Amino acid sequence: MTTAHRRSEQARQAIMRAALEICREQGYARLTMEGVAAKAGVGKQTIYRWWPSKGTVVLDAFLEELGPAIEVPPTTDELADLRLSLRRAAELLSHPRYGSMLADLVGALQHDEALAAEFHKRVYQPVRQQTVERIERARLSGAIGNVDTGLAADLLFGPLWFRTLLTRQPPTPDYADQIVDIALAGLCAATS
């Protein structure tokens, strides 16, 4: 038997739309559950029924719009894929609409375990997985040295996030390229 009167798709979409809109217009910090409910024309309970915190609402809304855009389709050239992947990340972090939203989301992660778990599963891990696999393949093909793949991934993505989160100056595509250049040089030299 199925559960009667299932979740309203209409309400869900209204909430996603409202969350994004408020986030864009007033910023994540000013976004409140009440505000989302009001703008979406929805009862607060309907939000709390399906999302535990404003962070998860925004995360969902974010992924609904940009989930697919995060991934980079694999080619045979792993290093080029990595380079493109970094560029994509830089573009996202410097996106006028989603950049500071992402930064705020990561900020909220610091004191919201549930959100942290969700972010890890749905944003961090997917990209991480792809990155690590590419590095692994590059390593096997001898394109880079014998290094810890996780560490290599940190070396690539770390600087982008560091710049975004600590200085609030989002990275440019050129910055991403330079990071790739130097990091890969280091990784080639490495033999661990």
Residues binding a copy of itself (CB under 8 A): 27-29, 100, 103-104, 106-112, 116, 119-120, 124, 147-148, 151-152, 154-155, 157-163, 165-168, 175, 178-179, 181-190, 192
Give the span between the Cα atoms of 4 and 53, in whole angstroms.
26
Q: Among residues 172, 169, 158, 95, which one has the least CA distance to residue 128?
A: 158
Q: At its nearest, how many Å lie between DNA and the CB of residue 119?
A: 17
| Contacted entry of DNA, a copy of itself, none for residue 104, CB cut-off 5 to 8 Å set by kind | a copy of itself
Is 41 a binder of DNA (CB under 7 A)? yes
162 in Cβ contact with 142 (< 8 Å): no
Binding mask 48-87 for DNA (x = CB under 7 A): xxx--xx---------------------------------
Q: Whole-number minimum distance, CB 109 to DNA, in Å?
A: 15
| The residue type at 33 | M
* HEC sequence for 115-158: HHHHHHHHHHHHHHHHHHHHHHHHHHCCCCCCCCHHHHHHHHHH
Contact yes or no for 86/160 (Cβ under 8 A): yes
Instruction: Pull the structure tokens for residue 21.
Output: 């809109």
DSSP string, 61-89: HHHHHHHHHH-----S-HHHHHHHHHHHH
Q: Which stretch binds DNA (CB under 7 A): 26-34, 121-129, 146-154, 178-186?
A: 26-34
Q: Does 168 bind DNA (CB under 7 A)?
A: no
* Residue placing its CB nearer to a copy of itself in the complex, 43 or 67: 43
Cβ distance to DNA smaller for residue 45 or 75: 45
Chosen residue from 13, 25, 27, 43 binding DNA by CB under 7 A: 43
Contact residues toward DNA (CB under 7 A) are 1-8, 10-12, 14, 30, 32-35, 37, 40-46, 48-50, 53-54
